[in-house]
């Protein structure tokens, strides 16, 4: 697909401004854009949410299906997470099988949730060794203006906090009936930074991502644990960058959790 030459041209301005510690939209380097969360918007989903982070928009929906557990974990259900980068969000997203970018975003968001043990997998067990719930978290990018990672992470978590677990009778899901809300043990959130020059900036716009040499995401929990790391792109980061990112992540994720 034809690259947008204008993006490259404008990205130079990002670099110049950052040399003086400024961002083009006047944000601080550790500041999120305006965040809006709408919950419970799709009736067929067991939980759903739409997140708007600046101009970036992502939707998420949760569906529970019954499945058989792994033989070595007979009393545990699980989750499955995915984000699709669909043409609605950008003229550069094409139809077809998931791109490497979408697979990376999906797996990083999944790791943040899974490793923090936010969802109690034992509570998803319906009949030991036979039936467990698989919680599918499906996300779709609706508008791409950077940081689909964090927008997706917030949307996934918001949908999970709303999710109702279906009632099961005779080893089948009873449509329209629920046994209660899914109670989360932790509320993990991803915070993603772009490294431009020597500066790590939080929540990049598409233009800032275009100028970035490296990307770093960290998932944090409300009790100050880190549940995922991901360094992306072909540049490098320093240990100081990681330390700084973790500190910023703990602080900013706390503020976002208040909105959930």
Partner 1 sequence: MATEKEEKKVYVNKKGLRLDGRKIDETRPIKITAGVLKNAKGSCYLEWGQNKVLVSVQGPREALPKHTANPLKALLKFTYRMAAFSVPDRKNPKPGRRDIEISKVCGEALEKSVFLEKYPNSQIEVWAQILDSNAGSRAAALTAASVALADAGIPMKDLVTSVAVGRADGKIIVDLNKDEEDAPDAVDMPIALMSNSKEIVLLQMDGLFSKKEFDEAFEVAVKSIEGIKKLQIKALKEKYESKEFEQASKLSEKALPKQPSNLLEKDLPKQKVDQKTGQKKEEKKAEVQ
Partner 2 sequence: MKKIVVPGEIVTEQRKRTGEHVYLQNGKIYSDVIGITDTESMNASVVALKGFYIPKENDIVIGLIAQELFSGFLVDIGSLYLSFLSKDSVREPLKRGSIVSVKVIKVNELNEADVGDTRVFYGGEIFSICSIKIPRVIGKNASMLDALKRGTNCNIIIGRNGRIWAKGGDTELLFRALKKIEKEAHMPNLTNKIGEFLAKERK
Rule CB under 8 A: which residues touch partner 2? Answer: 2-6, 8-10, 13
Question: What distance in Å separates the CA atoms of residue 175 and residue 45, rounded to the nearest whole number?
Answer: 12
Residue with smaller CB distance to partner 1, 67 or 197 = 67
- Secondary structure class of 199 (helix, strand, coil): strand
Between residues 91 and 129, which has the closer beta carbon with respect to partner 2? Answer: 91
> Which of 203/241 has CB closer to partner 1?
203
User: Distance from CA of residue 81 to its chain's centroid?
Assistant: 9
Rounded Cα distance, 174 and 179, in Å: 10
Q: What are phi and psi of 103, to 5 degrees?
A: -65, -40
Structure tokens belonging to residue 222? 């409300």
CB 124 within 8 A of CB 73: no
CA–CA separation, 177 and 165 (whole Å):
9
Return the one option of partner 1, partner 2, none that residue 157 interacts with (CB less than 5 to 8 A, by type). none
Give which of partner 2, partner 1, none residue 132 binds (C-beta under 5 to 8 Å, depending on kind): none
For residue 249, the minimal CB distance to partner 1 (Å) is 28
**Shortest Cβ distance from residue 51 to partner 1 (Å)?**
14
| Residue 234 binding: pick among partner 2, partner 1, none (C-beta 5-8 Å cut-off by kind) | none
Give the shortest CB-5-to-partner 2 separation in angstroms.
4
Q: Give the Cβ contact number of residue 97 at 10 Å.
A: 6
Closest separation in Å from C-beta 103 to partner 1: 12
Binding residues for partner 1 (CB under 8 A): 1-2, 42-46, 48, 55, 59, 61-63, 65, 82, 84, 86-91, 95, 136, 138, 140, 142-145, 174-175
Minimum Å gap between C-beta 207 and partner 2 is 13
List the one residue out of 35, 77, 43, 76 whose CA is nearest residue 162: 43
For residue 110 the two structure tokens come to: 């999944």
């Amino acid at each position: 697909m034809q690259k947008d030459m204008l993006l490259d041209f404008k990205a130079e301005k990002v670099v110049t401004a950052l040399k003086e510690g400024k961002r083009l939209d006047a944000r601080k380097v550790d500041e999120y854009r305006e965040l809006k969360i709408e919950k419970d918007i799709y009736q067929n989903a067991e939980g759903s949410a739409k997140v708007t982070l600046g101009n970036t928009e992502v939707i998420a929906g949760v569906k529970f299906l019954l499945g058989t557990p792994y033989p070595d974990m007979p009393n545990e259900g699980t989750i499955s997470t995915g984000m699709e980068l669909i043409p609605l969000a950008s003229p550069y997203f094409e139809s077809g099988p998931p791109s490497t970018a979408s697979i990376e975003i999906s797996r990083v968001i999944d790791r943040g949730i899974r490793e923090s043990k936010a969802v109690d997998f034992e509570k998803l067990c319906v009949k030991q060794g036979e039936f467990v719930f698989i919680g599918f978290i499906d996300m779709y990018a609706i508008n791409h203006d950077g940081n689909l990672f964090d927008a997706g992470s917030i949307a996934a978590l918001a949908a999970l906090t709303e999710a109702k677990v279906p009632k099961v009778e005779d080893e089948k899901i009873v449509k329209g009936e629920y046994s209660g809300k899914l109670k989360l043990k932790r509320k993990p959130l991803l915070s993603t930074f772009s490294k431009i020059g020597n500066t790590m900036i939080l929540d990049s716009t598409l233009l800032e991502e275009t100028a970035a040499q490296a990307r770093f995401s960290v998932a944090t929990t409300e009790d100050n644990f880190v549940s995922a790391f991901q360094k992306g792109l072909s540049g490098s980061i320093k240990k100081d960058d990681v330390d700084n990112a973790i500190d910023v992540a703990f602080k900013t994720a706390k503020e976002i959790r208040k909105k959930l």
